[in-house]
Amino acid sequence: MPPFTPSPPPIHMVPQNLPSPYRFYPLKQATKPTMGQPSELDDRSRKQLLQPHHRTDPLVWCYGILCFVFSLLLILAGITTLIIFLAIKPRNPLFDTANASLNSIYLDSPAYFNGDFTFLANFSNPNQKIYIVYKYISLELYLNDKLISAHALPPFAQKSRESTIQAVRMVSSQVLLPSDVAVRLQDQVRRNRVLYEIRGTFKVRASLGFMHFTYWVYGRCEIEMGAPPSGVLLARSCRTKQ
């Protein structure tokens, strides 16, 4: 009797009509573009670059041209102003006082000051071709760096080489002085030499033809007055700076 040999297990074939999870699909290899062969991305980029551009709106061009012309005119105006400024060399207006009078000065108590001071303010335009308008004029009177009175003048104009003199009266009433300033004032009155300082602040507009420029000018006058009742002007030193 021949020996018993087990039969091999049957090979189950996958039916072709099974659902997709049981099917096997061969993998597709990605093809690399060969040298010199453009890819789809390159074709797309080239098409975008070769697309016709939109034309710029004419209003945008007009606006740009106007801005350029305006900037060029500003530059030319600045250069012209600088050349004229260097050629003419404009000078600051001058502030001075030709005469002054100390009418009264006394202390109600050791700390309260009263005084009456009058002076002639002289404004001069030293320029030959520049027209000046004083738009703001403020005058302050100081005693040993202590403000004791202030006065404002109305605006006025000056032609070239013109001078204007205005009388200014500055009254001080019950001005509280520091003790050291009061002691110094009493000593000056005894020596018949009272020291005052006039400080002026001016806003000036200068005109030369069609050009105008505005700036600030500061005047300082240190004056030495005799004590009342004479109260005459003994000495002065004035300067003006911008």
At residue 109, the pLDDT reads: 79
Measure the CA–CA gap between 104 and 118, rounded to whole angstroms.
10
Under the banding of pLDDT at 50, 70 and 90, the label for residue 32 is: low
Give the CA distances from residue 80 to residues 22, 67, 107, in Å, rounded to whole numbers and listed in that order.
91, 20, 58
pLDDT(150) > 90: yes
Under the banding of pLDDT at 50, 70 and 90, the label for residue 208 is: confident
Strand partners, 182: none
Q: Please state which of the ranges 29-33, 70-74, 140-144, 191-195 shows the lowest mean pLDDT.
A: 29-33
Among 152, 166, 153, 161, smallest CA distance to 132 is for 161
At residue 61, the pLDDT reads: 82
Considering Cα of 61, then 63, then 65, then 67, what sign does the dihedral take?
Answer: negative
What is the pTM assigned to this prediction? Answer: 0.67
Strand ranges inside 154-193, DSSP E:
156-158, 163-176
At residue 101, the pLDDT reads: 95
For 12, list phi and psi in degrees, rounded to 5.
-90, 120
Comparison of pLDDT for 68 and 18, the residue scoring more:
68
pLDDT(56) > 80: no
| Mean pLDDT (whole number) for 96-124 | 92
Peptide bond into 126 cis (omega under 30): no
Scanning the structure block, which residue is given the tokens 């202390």? 107
pLDDT(209) > 70: yes
Q: For 1, how many CA atoms within 13 A lie in the half-sphere containing its CB?
A: 2
| Mean pLDDT (whole number) for 184-210 | 92
Comparison of pLDDT for 3 and 89, the residue scoring more:
89
At residue 114, the pLDDT reads: 94
| Mean pLDDT (whole number) for 192-217 | 91
Q: What is the DSSP string of 21-34?
A: GG---PPPPPPPPP
Measure the CA–CA gap between 43 and 158, rounded to whole angstroms.
78
Under the banding of pLDDT at 50, 70 and 90, the label for residue 6 is: low
